[in-house]
Amino acid sequence: MRATLFKGPRRVELGERPDPVIKEPTDAIVRVVMGCVCGSDLWYYRGINPHKEGSIGHEFIGIVEKIGDDVKDTKVGDLVIAPFDYSDGTCANCKAGYTFECPHGGAFGNGDTDGGQGEYVRAPYADVNLVKVPKGEYTEDQLASFLALSDVMCTGFHAASSAGVKKGDVVAVVGDGAVGLSGIIAAKLKGASRIIALSRNPARQKLAKEFGATDIVPERGEEAVAAVMKLTDGVGVNAALECVGTKEALETAANVTRAGGMVGAVGVPTYGTIEYAKMFFWRNIGIKGGVAPARTYIPELLKAVLNGRINPGRVFDLRTDLDNVAEAYAAMDERRAIKSLLKVSEINR
Amino acid sequence: MRATLFKGPRRVELGERPDPVIKEPTDAIVRVVMGCVCGSDLWYYRGINPHKEGSIGHEFIGIVEKIGDDVKDTKVGDLVIAPFDYSDGTCANCKAGYTFECPHGGAFGNGDTDGGQGEYVRAPYADVNLVKVPKGEYTEDQLASFLALSDVMCTGFHAASSAGVKKGDVVAVVGDGAVGLSGIIAAKLKGASRIIALSRNPARQKLAKEFGATDIVPERGEEAVAAVMKLTDGVGVNAALECVGTKEALETAANVTRAGGMVGAVGVPTYGTIEYAKMFFWRNIGIKGGVAPARTYIPELLKAVLNGRINPGRVFDLRTDLDNVAEAYAAMDERRAIKSLLKVSEINR
């Protein structure tokens, strides 16, 4: 089959991998309809984080083509959303909804396992992981929104969930990438009364507003903190969503948060330590976050997509195909695109 | 009046201070019935944290002796509990329940303001801060429990509140001082199904069990983590209460917490930075805490004392008077006492 291959920093190309086969009776083989490039893929692309040579891409939707003997609920022909990380569904962490911490789980597209930026994927624990989309006719935009649930929308939602965003809250979102934009959608979905987006890019500001941002703060660092404080009468926000992963973004998030508030942190950390005592303890501010349990969130978010409340697929502002995967990466790397979608196959063929 | 004076590390003695007078129309003068020594006072005593020479002690209960012209709800003769830190009751932080972060608030016994380890205290914003105990006859043990609400019980409760402890949770408490023991009471009050106390002192283990601990772990550090993991089938606890303030205690608290769980941190930090990415982010664990908003918690906890559900005054295992304040400090410093109570005057005289 055709599949994107990671060959080293800035060397992402279309190549060949063996067609996947059923290995475990709980497996399914999914024909990928859409995949995409994640912000975390860019870190491999840029050589900041290491990645094994081989398969890449962990977000996809597709059509079930084959199932193992023990697969009961998932049927051939189903349109399914895959969470970016699979899990066994039976351990204590899975039962508590923290699927990323499943001891039997794993990642798609890690060099060895099939990736979402290819034609087919072997999906382990198919009944547990693949979330079925109800039968129906869907537009390309709806499909893009289903695809967003594979990772980015769940990650933004995890920021809001971890920060405990609730009805009436004032929320600041630090980061205007696809995750930050998804965080805005999540804050609105959870009933935030005011959403302050930190963004200096006009196209992203526009999308932030369409997603529910009530205020835009183009400043950065201390000036951004001052601007948010001014907007909130010197009090700060109930929750700040940290959707970047740098020390600077985390400081900004902490410093705009009011006493008793929370920082929801989902930006993959480029820092190790944080000034917890000064930034958090002495201000009675908390911090929670980590890698999103996508499988846990997909059903709730799928309902919101189906009833038209949210349209997270709008974060994909570059739509291309496997042949142009190099450009899909380059456009994101150069910030010409927020997030790149790869159309791999038609639903019906 | 007679009042305890801080004169430098290991120099805490009974001396004289001017009798307090009403300065603001919202002031009240309180005759102290009971005061006590806080774990944080020991830090000044040991020279670890600086303290201005002069008044000391921030926990007390007493009888209102005089009120300013604008004091309406607080009456002369009322038995009142003072939160260790006063606040104005009108700012955005106070309204949200985070009284320690009140911009017009302050601390009792900071060298200048009257302290709870003396005969009288001028209490600012009396109607806002002083919590009235219903008229009645109370035993010395009940009075001790009222006194515990001035700080230590509220601080333990803040650990449990910050960690979001709820019915059915499995909770670990790191630290067997008066705050840790209060954390056990708080976890039980919030409905924890299992409370694992880390303690190696037999007297404190006994009190921990009486307060609601279901398991005792005498190990420390990595061995303590292994022991808690064994007790929880390798999963860890929903919430860990960090009631010490050292890097080691915080690491233990984080490492016994399960994915999605929370550390409630109230130990005054002797550390600055923490290994957030490794200890928290990559394990989907959060941390929240700080200085307790005692005024916010006192009414709820007072009800629990009055109906006999909790008896936090039992943390006072040394009961003495102002003349023996040096011994009150020394006994805690040498860990001969968990917490020292100073009987200052009789309720009726």
* Pairwise CB contact (< 8 Å): B281 & A275: no
B284 at A interface, C-beta within 8 A: yes
Alpha helices in B212-282 (DSSP H): 221-231, 247-255, 276-279
Question: Is residue B64 within 8 Å of residue B78, measured between CB atoms?
Answer: yes
In tens digits, chain B (349 residues) has pLDDT values of: 999 999 999 999 999 999 999 999 999 999 999 999 999 999 999 998 899 999 999 999 999 999 999 999 999 999 999 999 999 999 999 999 999 999 999 999 999 999 999 999 999 999 999 999 999 999 999 999 999 999 999 999 999 999 999 999 999 999 999 999 999 999 999 999 999 999 999 999 999 999 999 999 999 999 999 999 999 999 999 999 999 999 999 999 999 999 999 999 999 998 999 999 999 999 999 999 999 999 999 999 999 999 999 999 999 999 999 999 999 999 999 999 999 999 999 999 7
Among B92, B287, B290, the residue with its CB nearest the CB of A287 is B287
pTM of the entire predicted model: 0.96
* Pairwise CB contact (< 8 Å): B260 & A96: yes
Domain span(s) for CATH 3.40.50.720 in chain A: 156-289
* Pairwise CB contact (< 8 Å): B291 & A284: yes
Minimal Cα–Cα distance from B140 to chain A, Å? 34
Minimal Cα–Cα distance from B342 to chain A, Å? 29
The CATH number of domain A2-151+293-343, selected from 3.90.180.10, 3.20.20.70, 3.20.20.105, 3.40.50.150: 3.90.180.10
Residues of chain A with pLDDT under 70: none
Instruction: List chain A residues with CB under 8 Å of B98.
Output: 258-260, 284
> According to the model, what pLDDT value does residue A331 have?
97
Tens digit of each residue's pLDDT (9 = 90 or more) over A46-64: 998 899 999 999 999 999 9
B107 at A interface, C-beta within 8 A: no
A280 at B interface, C-beta within 8 A: yes
Among A100, A259, A277, the residue with its CB nearest the CB of B269 is A277
Cβ-Cβ contacts under 8 Å between A and B: the total is 124
Contacts with B, A 179-218, CB within 8 Å? none
* Pairwise CB contact (< 8 Å): B259 & A285: no
A74, amino acid identity = T
B299 at A interface, C-beta within 8 A: no
Instruction: List chain B residues with CB under 8 Å of A289.
Output: 281, 284, 286
* Pairwise CB contact (< 8 Å): A282 & B291: yes
Contacts 24+ apart (CB under 8 A), B107-110: B107/B58, B108/B55, B108/B57, B108/B58, B108/B60, B108/B82, B108/B84, B109/B55, B109/B56, B109/B57, B109/B58, B110/B51, B110/B52, B110/B55, B110/B58
* Pairwise CB contact (< 8 Å): B288 & A98: no
Q: Which residues is A252 bridged to in the sheet?
A: none
Domain span(s) for CATH 3.90.180.10 in chain A: 2-151+293-343
SS3 call for B258: strand
Contacts with A, B 153-182, CB within 8 Å? 162
Tens digit of each residue's pLDDT (9 = 90 or more) over A211-262: 999 999 999 999 999 999 999 999 999 999 999 999 999 999 999 999 999 9
Instruction: List chain B residues with CB under 8 Å of A276.
Output: 269, 271-274, 276, 287
B149 at A interface, C-beta within 8 A: no
A262 at B interface, C-beta within 8 A: yes
Among B92, B275, B282, the residue with its CB nearest the CB of A273 is B275
* Pairwise CB contact (< 8 Å): B93 & A262: no
Instruction: List chain B residues with CB under 8 Å of A283.
Output: 101, 290
SS3 call for B208: helix
> What's the CATH superfamily of B156-289?
NAD(P)-binding Rossmann-like Domain (3.40.50.720)
Minimal Cα–Cα distance from B262 to chain A, Å? 8
Alpha helices in chain B (DSSP H): 39-45, 92-95, 126-129, 140-148, 152-162, 178-189, 202-211, 221-231, 247-255, 276-279, 294-306, 325-333
Residue partners of A349: CB distance under 8 A and separation at least 6: none
Two tokens, residue A15: 């190549």
CA B135 to centroid of chain Cα atoms: 24
* Pairwise CB contact (< 8 Å): B289 & A281: yes
- State phi, psi for B302 to the nearest 5 degrees: -65, -40
Kindly report the three-state secondary structure assignment for every residue of A163-194: CCCCCCCEEEEECCCHHHHHHHHHHHHCCCCE
A291 at B interface, C-beta within 8 A: yes
Question: Is residue B173 within 8 Å of residue B196, measured between CB atoms?
Answer: yes
SS3 call for B61: strand
Instruction: List chain B residues with CB under 8 Å of A278.
Output: 272
Other CB atoms within a 10 A radius of the CB of residue A209 amount to 16
**Disruptive mutation site among A94, A255, A288, A295 for chain B (greatest number of B CBs within 10 Å):** A288
ipTM, 2 decimals? 0.96
Question: Is residue A290 within 8 Å of residue A126, measured between CB atoms?
Answer: no
Residue with tokens 């973004």: A249
Contacts with A, B 31-60, CB within 8 Å? none
Q: Which residues of B320-331 are buried (b: 16+ CB within 10 A; e: fewer)?
A: bebebbeebbbb
